[in-house]
Structure 1
Amino acid sequence: MTSPARSAGPAIGALPGRGRNLGLALLSFTITFWAWNIIGPIGVRYAEELDLTSTQLSMIIATPVIVGSAGRIVTGALTDRFGGRIMFTTLTAVSAVPVLLILWAGEVGSYGLLLLFGFVLGIAGTTFAIGIPFVNAWYEPSKRGFATGLFGAGMGGTALSSFFTPRMVAAFGYVATHIIIAVALLVVAVIVWIGMRDSPLWHPNRDRVLPKLEAAARLTITWQMAFLYAVTFGGFVAFSTYLPTYLKEVYGYGLTDAGARTAGFAIAAVIARPLGGWLSDKFGPAVILSISLGGAAVMAVVIATKPPPELLAGASFVAMALFLGLGTGAVFTWVAQRAPAANVGSVTGIVGAAGGFGGYFPPLIMGATYDAEARSYATGLLLLCATAVIALIFTIYLARRRAPDTAPPA
C-alpha cells in the first residue's frame, strides 16, 4: 500500500500568502497557454506559405494538444511529489525551447518540422495539471471551486495568443514575435521561482509515479470526470485553436480580424470558468454542468445554421464560450469535492489529459467534414451537439447516485 501524501490539512482559516501564490500560478498558466496556442492564430499564414490543405492545417493546429494532454498525466503525479513551485518554474522555462523550434520550422518552411516541433510544443500545455493540486492545498474545501476556477482562467492565454500573436507578427515580424514570447516565458519562470511558495499544509508524496497513477486510474471518479472534461474543456480548446480557420472559411475574415474574434470567444470562456466554480460551490457541480452541456448542445445547432455577422454570429459564439467555461469550472469543483486528497494531483493529471485529448480530435473532424462548396462545418457541429447531449445524460445519472470512492468530507 502506498503512503498517502496530504494535499491539505484541516481547515484552519485563510493561509497568509495564498492570494499571491494563486496569482503567480495564474500568471504561469496564462503565459504557457499562450505559447501552447502559438500556431493556431497564424495557421492561415502557414497554409498560404506552404500551400496546405484543410486537413494538413488541422494537423499542425491540433498536434501540440497531444503532448499537452498526455503530458498532464505525468505532470500531475510529479506535482504531488515535487510541489507547484518547482514544477511551474521548470515547465515555464522549458516551454521557451519549442517556441524557438517552431520559429525555425516556419523560417525554413518545413511542414514536417512544424508537425514535429508542434508535438514538442505540447509541453507548454501541461502546466494546468500543476495548478489544481497546488491551489487546492492553499484553500479550504468551501473555497476550492472558486479558487481552482480562477486559476483555470489562465486558459485565457489562448485568448491573448489569438488577439496579440497575429498583431505582433504584423508589427514586429514572425521571428521577433517568437523571440519575445520565448523571453517572456523565461522571465515569468524567474518571477515564479522567486515569489511562489508551496502551501504549508502540502507535503510531498514520494511514492513512485507509476503506482500513483495506477491508484488514481482505479478510482471511478477519475474516469467519470475525464469524460465530462473532455467534452467541456475539449470543446473550448477545439474552438480556441480552430476558430480562426473557421471564421476565415465560413465568414471570410482575415487573419487579424479572425484572431480578434477568437480572443473574444476565449475571454468569455475565461470569465465563465471561475463563475462556474463559484456557482458549483453554491448549487452543486452537477447542476451547473447540466446547464453547461445543455446550452452547448443548443448553441452547436445554432452555429451550424451560420447565423449572419456580426451581431448574431458573435452572440452565438460568445454564448457557446460561456456555456463551455461554466462546465470547465464545474468539473474541477466536482474533482475537488470527491477525489481523495492524496490523489488530487494524479487525478487532475488524468482528467486534464482527457480535456486536452478532447480538444485534439474536433479540429481534425472539422477539417475532414468541411463542405467547401457550401462553406459549412455543419456536420462537425452536429456531432458536437450529440456529444454534449450524451454528456448531459451522463451528468444527470451521476447526480442521482453516489460513487463508492467519493472522498470523505473535510
Structure 2
Amino acid sequence: MMSGHTAPAVTGARRGMMLAIATAGFAVNFWAWALLSPLAPKLKDALHLSPLQQALLVAVPVVVGSLGRIPVGALTDRFGGRVMFPLVSLATIVPVLYLGLAGQQSLTGLLVGGFFLGIGGTAFAVGVPFVTAWFPPAKRGLAVGVFGMGMGGTAISALTTVKLVGAYGSAMPFVLTAIVLAAYALLAGLLLRDAPGRTVPAEPLGRRLAATLKLRVTWHASALYAVAFGGYVAFSVYLPAYLKTAYGLAQADAANRMAGFVLLAVVMRPIGGWLSDRIEPARVLTGTLLVVGVAALVQTFTPALAPLGTVAFLSLAAALGAGSGATFALVAQLAPANKVGSVTGVVGAAGGLGGFVPPLLMGTIYGRYGSYTIGLALLAVVAAGAVLLTATVVRRSARAVPGRA
C-alpha cells in the first residue's frame, strides 16, 4: 500500500539533502563498524593472538553486521529510514563504548564487543531503500552509488584510529566515535524524512522475506555482491595485516595504504552506479569482475609494491568499488518498490558474508603454509566464475523483466 494517495512534487535540493544525510549516517556507522581492524596488529601483539584469532577478531563484526541487514532491511521497508537510521546509530553506541572502556583486555571481551559492533554494519540496509524511494528509476544507480560512498567510513577509521590511540590512549577513538554517533542520531531524528508516497508493505515480516527469496534478482545480486563488496570488505579489514606480514610494513604505513585502497573504492562506487544508469548493470559488472580476477592473479606472485603490487591493489579497489555500485543499480532497477529493503538486506548480508570468509581463510592459509598465494588464487577463480554468471544468466534475466529501466 502507499503511505499517501498523491505524492507531492519533490525538488532536487530536497532529494540531495536526504541523500547527504543518509550517506553521512552510513559513513558514521561504518566508521564504528571498522574500529577494530586498524588495531588488529597491535592487539595481536598485546594479547599474543594467532593469525587465525586475529582474523576472527576483525571478521566477527562483519558477519554480524551482514546477517543483521536481513531483518533491518525488512524493518526499513515497514518503518522507513527516518526511524531506522537514528535507532541503528544509537544502538551502535553501546558496543563502541564497551570496547573503548572495558573490552580490550581479552580476546573474549573483544569478540563480545565485536559481535555487537556489527550493528553498525546494518546501516547499509537502511539507506538503500530510503534513497531508492527518493529518486526516479533513471537516477537511482547514481543515487545509490553516491550513498554507497558512505563505506568510506572505514577509511576514517583507518586514518584516525591508530593515531588517536598513540596520542590519547586506547579509549579515545571509541569515545569520539560514540559522540559522533549520538550527534548523528539527533540530526537524523530532526531532519530526515521518508519519501512522499513511499510504498509501505502490508504483509507480515516473515511472508515478505519468503517472497523476497523467490525473486531472481535477490539471488543474482547476492552472488555478485558477495564477490564485489565482499572483496572490498575483506581487503579493508585484512589489508593492514597482509601488508605487515607479506611486505614488512609498519602498522601506521599499512593502515594508510589500506585507507588509500578504501578511498579509491569509495570514489568508484558512484561511478559504477552512474555507468549502470547509462548501460546495462550486467555489462559494468562483467568488466569490473574481469579486472578483479586479473589483479588477484597478479598479486598471487607477491610482486614488489612499487610499482606492480600497488597497481594490482589499486585496480582491485577501483573494480570492487565500481562493481558494488553496479550491483545495487541492478537491485534499484529490478526489485519491486515495496521489497527494496528486504532485497537489500539479503544482498547486503551476502556481501558482508563474502567479506567474512576471506580473512579467516587467509589467516588459516598463512598459518599453515606461510603464504597468501592460495587465497589470492581462489579470489581470481571466484571472480572468473562471477564474470561467467553475469555475462550469461544475469544479463538474460535482467533483459527479460518487463518495464526494466
Q: Scaled by the length of structure 2, what TM-score is found?
A: 0.95
Distance in 2 between residues matched to 1:11 and 1:284, nearest whole Å: 31
Contact 2:52–2:367 (CA under 8 A) maintained in structure 1: no
Q: In the TM superposition, what whole-angstrom CA distance separates every residue of 1:36-87 from its partner, at most 9, and x where no partner exists?
A: 0111111011100000000010001100012101100001100011110110
Residue 353 of structure 2 is matched in structure 1 by 357
Q: Do structure 1's residue 401 and structure 2's residue 396 form an aligned pair? A: yes
Distance in 2 between residues matched to 1:372 and 1:11, nearest whole Å: 62
Distance in 2 between residues matched to 1:72 and 1:399, nearest whole Å: 23
Residue 141 of structure 1 is matched in structure 2 by 137
Residue 251 of structure 2 is matched in structure 1 by 255
Q: Match of 1:87, as an amino acid?
A: M
Contact 1:148–1:329 (CA under 8 A) maintained in structure 2: yes
Point out the more displaced range, 164-173 or 117-126.
164-173
SS in 2 for 1:18: helix
Q: Do structure 1's residue 230 and structure 2's residue 242 form an aligned pair? A: no
Residue 377 of structure 2 is matched in structure 1 by 382
Contact 2:7–2:196 (CA under 8 A) maintained in structure 1: no
* Match 1:366 to one of 362, 366, 369: 362
Cα offset for 1:173?
A: 1.3
Distance in 1 between residues matched to 2:173 and 2:102, nearest whole Å: 14
Distance in 2 between residues matched to 1:307 and 1:394, nearest whole Å: 30
Residue 238 of structure 2 is matched in structure 1 by 242
Q: Do structure 1's residue 164 and structure 2's residue 141 form an aligned pair? A: no
Q: In the TM superposition, what whole-angstrom CA distance separates every residue of 1:97-151 from its partner, at most 9, and x where no partner exists?
A: 11112224544x2111211221111000000001111001111000000000000
Residue 205 of structure 2 is matched in structure 1 by 209
Q: Do structure 1's residue 285 and structure 2's residue 281 form an aligned pair? A: yes
Q: In the TM superposition, what whole-angstrom CA distance separates every residue of 1:244-290 from its partner, at most 9, and x where no partner exists?
A: 00010011112211110000000000000000000011111011100
Structure 2 vs 1, CA of residues 9 and 63 (structure 1 numbering), >3 Å: closer, same or farther?
farther
Point out the more displaced range, 198-207 or 143-152.
198-207
Structure 2 vs 1, CA of residues 115 and 99 (structure 1 numbering), >3 Å: closer, same or farther?
same
* Match 1:181 to one of 177, 181, 193: 177
* Match 2:193 to one of 194, 197, 213: 197
Residue 307 of structure 1 is matched in structure 2 by 303
> How many residues align structurally?
405
Cα offset for 1:402?
A: 2.9
Cα offset for 1:242?
A: 0.2
Distance in 1 between residues matched to 2:195 and 2:399, nearest whole Å: 29
Distance in 2 between residues matched to 1:319 and 1:182, nearest whole Å: 34
Structure 2 vs 1, CA of residues 178 and 144 (structure 1 numbering), >3 Å: closer, same or farther?
same
Contact 1:273–1:328 (CA under 8 A) maintained in structure 2: yes
Distance in 1 between residues matched to 2:87 and 2:395, nearest whole Å: 42
Distance in 1 between residues matched to 2:103 and 2:303, nearest whole Å: 35
Q: Match of 1:85, as an amino acid?
A: R
Distance in 1 between residues matched to 2:110 and 2:165, nearest whole Å: 17
Cα offset for 1:205?
A: 2.5
Distance in 1 between residues matched to 2:49 and 2:318, nearest whole Å: 32
Q: Scaled by the length of structure 1, what TM-score is found?
A: 0.94
Matches within 5 A, 1:54-203: 54-107=51-104, 109-203=105-199
Q: Match of 1:27, as an amino acid?
A: A
Q: Match of 2:147, as an amino acid?
A: F
Structure 2 vs 1, CA of residues 10 and 224 (structure 1 numbering), >3 Å: closer, same or farther?
farther
Contact 1:221–1:406 (CA under 8 A) maintained in structure 2: no
SS in 2 for 1:368: helix
Cα offset for 1:172?
A: 1.6
Q: Do structure 1's residue 17 and structure 2's residue 14 form an aligned pair? A: yes
Structure 2 vs 1, CA of residues 8 and 249 (structure 1 numbering), >3 Å: closer, same or farther?
farther
Residue segments in structure 2 that go unaligned for 5+ positions in a row: none
Structure 2 vs 1, CA of residues 132 and 203 (structure 1 numbering), >3 Å: closer, same or farther?
same
Matches within 5 A, 1:4-43: 4=1, 14=11, 16-43=13-40
Point out the more displaced range, 291-300 or 301-310.
301-310
Distance in 1 between residues matched to 2:391 and 2:298, nearest whole Å: 24
Contact 2:264–2:314 (CA under 8 A) maintained in structure 1: yes
Structure 2 vs 1, CA of residues 6 and 378 (structure 1 numbering), >3 Å: closer, same or farther?
farther
Cα offset for 1:26?
A: 0.5
Structure 2 vs 1, CA of residues 241 and 407 (structure 1 numbering), >3 Å: closer, same or farther?
farther
Cα offset for 1:408?
A: 3.8
Q: Match of 1:386, as an amino acid?
A: V
Cα offset for 1:362?
A: 0.3
Distance in 1 between residues matched to 2:290 and 2:111, nearest whole Å: 35
Contact 1:7–1:137 (CA under 8 A) maintained in structure 2: no
Distance in 2 between residues matched to 1:62 and 1:144, nearest whole Å: 31
Contact 1:221–1:405 (CA under 8 A) maintained in structure 2: no
RMSD value over aligned CA atoms? 2.1
Q: Match of 1:294, as an amino acid?
A: L
Distance in 1 between residues matched to 2:21 and 2:358, nearest whole Å: 31
Structure 2 vs 1, CA of residues 6 and 254 (structure 1 numbering), >3 Å: closer, same or farther?
farther
Q: Do structure 1's residue 326 and structure 2's residue 358 form an aligned pair? A: no
Distance in 2 between residues matched to 1:76 and 1:214, nearest whole Å: 14
Contact 1:7–1:342 (CA under 8 A) maintained in structure 2: no
